[in-house]
Amino acid sequence: MFNFSYQNPTRIVFGEGQISQLANLVPKGSKILLTYGGGSIKHNGVYQQVMQALDGFEVVEFSGIEPNPSFETLLKAVDIVKTQGINYLLPVGGGSVIDGTKFIAAAALYQGDPWDILAKRAPISAALPLGCVLTLPATGTESNGNSVVTRYSTQQKLSFASPLVYPQFAVLDPTVTYSLPPKQVANGVVDAFVHVMEQYMTYPVNAAVQDRFAEGLLLTLLEQGPLALKDPHNYDVRANVMWAATMALNGLIGQGVPQDWATHMIGHELTALYGLDHAQTLAIVLPALLQQQRSQKREKLIQYGKRVFNLQHTDEERLIDETIAHTRAFFEQMGVPTRLADYGVTSEAVDAVLAKLEHHKMLKLGEHGDITLEVSRKILTAAL
């Protein structure tokens, strides 16, 4: 196991009815900017619960944060923060609303051009405090320091990370996920699954705790994901999916182990260019990447096949083939197709994505830094 230093400062407030706790979670006297997306919270009762809980606070609203939040939209919120003296941010929504609000938190106190936070990964020295209400289990953003923002004019989807933008608290009420469309349920499960894989499917470093935790999360998502589609109002299923997605990317399972993230980096370019949902890109790239990197990932692929899919073949090549096939089949079972062609994306995409990867200096991806542009080309070609 590698050395590590780990702290996750986000207080998780979990369970039905917990939105009412907001009054105790947001610091007294705060002037709040309540941020949200396209209005789902107005149809499922979440907005009303939040406003009721914030009775007595000064609340300014900012709506319209898009899926894959837009840099330009977020700058409008930064203006409101500055002109109205906002001192606390409260995103209520999915990963896009929370990521976007982390960017607002950083950009509002940034001295230079806020685009540099993303394009140059310019370090930030301050951010406004935020807490969040999560409505879509998927990204783990509710208790991590990451944010992904898209600049539509240049088709760039870029991220930044800072300990300063961890939410102070995250309210996780599984009942608010009942209203999710099946596509978003599936996306969330696939995203969380791939987050675990990015931190687990590398090479062994004798990190038994991290491996067993990761395998537990994968097994949970394999079991509960399909149940969430079949039985949408099952509280226990929704609760398990929600907690698994948080645990998948709150930093815990990634401590002391090598990490990959090539699937995400290639996937972000696909979203920026073709507008595919984040999870759709992951379902496309991961199976092709596992096949391409099967010799580097050999030991962990075998471990994953045996422990997660219970495969027992003595022929290890066959075991790896079936392990990758089971992974692809799970995404398909969730209703997330795994080929570019399934989304109408054709072979011209290969060169287009490679040009973007090159522009963003994604030249040595993966846990060994051996996913060069040529290897990315093979992965994308295999994913057509």
Given the rule CB under 5 A, which residues bind Zn ion? Answer: 191
Find the Cα–Cα–Cα–Cα dihedral 357, 362, 363, 369, rounded to 10°.
-140
40 binds ligand NZQ (CB under 6 A): yes
For ligand NZQ, the closer CB: 51 or 302: 51
Among Zn ion, ligand NZQ, none, the one that 99 touches (CB under a kind-dependent 5 to 8 A) is ligand NZQ
Instruction: Please give the Cα distance from 136 to 179 (Å, whole number).
Output: 10
207-214 long-range contacts, CB within 8 A, separation 24+: 207/1, 207/256, 207/257, 210/1, 210/253, 210/254, 210/255, 210/256, 210/257, 211/303, 213/247, 213/252, 213/253, 214/253
Pair of tokens at residue 275: 């507008």
* Interacting span for ligand NZQ (CB under 6 A) from 47-55, 141-149, 290-298, 332-340: 141-149
E-state strands within 58-198: 58-62, 88-93, 132-134, 146-151, 156-161, 169-172
Residue closest to ligand NZQ, measured at CB: 37
In the list 13, 18, 26, 37, the residue contacting ligand NZQ (rule: CB under 6 A) is 37
E-state strands within the chain: 11-14, 31-35, 58-62, 88-93, 132-134, 146-151, 156-161, 169-172
Label residue 374 exposed, middle or buried (CB < 10 Å: 0-12, 13-18, 19+): exposed
Distance in Å, CB of 80 to Zn ion, minimum? 29
Contacts to ligand NZQ from residues 291-330, by CB under 6 A = none
Q: Indicate the residue type of 256.
A: G
101 binds ligand NZQ (CB under 6 A): no
Among ligand NZQ, Zn ion, none, the one that 140 touches (CB under a kind-dependent 5 to 8 A) is ligand NZQ
278 binds ligand NZQ (CB under 6 A): yes
Count Cβ atoms below 10 Å from residue 196 Cβ, excluding itself: 25
For Zn ion, the closer CB: 86 or 194: 194
For Zn ion, the closer CB: 68 or 376: 68
Distance in Å, CB of 271 to ligand NZQ, minimum? 7
For ligand NZQ, the closer CB: 319 or 371: 371
67 binds ligand NZQ (CB under 6 A): yes
Contacts to ligand NZQ from residues 228-257, by CB under 6 A = 249
Binding site for ligand NZQ (CB under 6 A): 37-41, 44, 67-68, 93-97, 99, 135-136, 138-141, 144, 146-148, 176-177, 179-180, 184, 187-188, 191, 249, 264, 278
